[in-house]
Amino acid sequence: MTTAGGSQSVRDAIKAQQPLVGLHGHIHESGGRFRIGRTQTFNPGSEYSSDVLRGVIVDFDAAGDYLDFLFTSG
């Protein structure tokens, strides 16, 4: 797990609403995942200067519950 970055307002909203997952892609720092309360959040990060785009695939079961994730790059 990594430490959180980005907007304090976004963090406060996640703490208040507790969505199942948080997907963040515009934080220009090292990618990672971390929890805010019950919410699993992801920042895949990217290396724009090297033309590397990173993403994350998040898997849910039929009931909509979070199962697993996979970071991707290309």
d(CA 8, CA 67): 27
H-run or E-run covering 43: strand 39-43
Which range of residues forms the domain containing residue 15? 8-73
Q: What is the 3-state secondary structure (H, E, C) of 6-29?
A: CCHHHHHHHHHHCCCEEECCCCCC
* pLDDT, tens digit, 9 for 90 and up, residues 21-59: 998 876 556 678 889 999 999 988 877 778 888 889 999
Q: Determine, yes or no, domain membership for 2.
A: no
Digit-coded pLDDT (tens) for 4-22: 567 889 899 999 999 999 9
Better pLDDT: 66 or 28: 66
Domains: count for the chain? 1
Tell me whether residue 3 is in a domain: no
Separation between Cα atoms, residue 54 and residue 51, nearest integer Å? 10
In a domain, residue 44? The reply is: yes
Residue 1 located in a structural domain: no
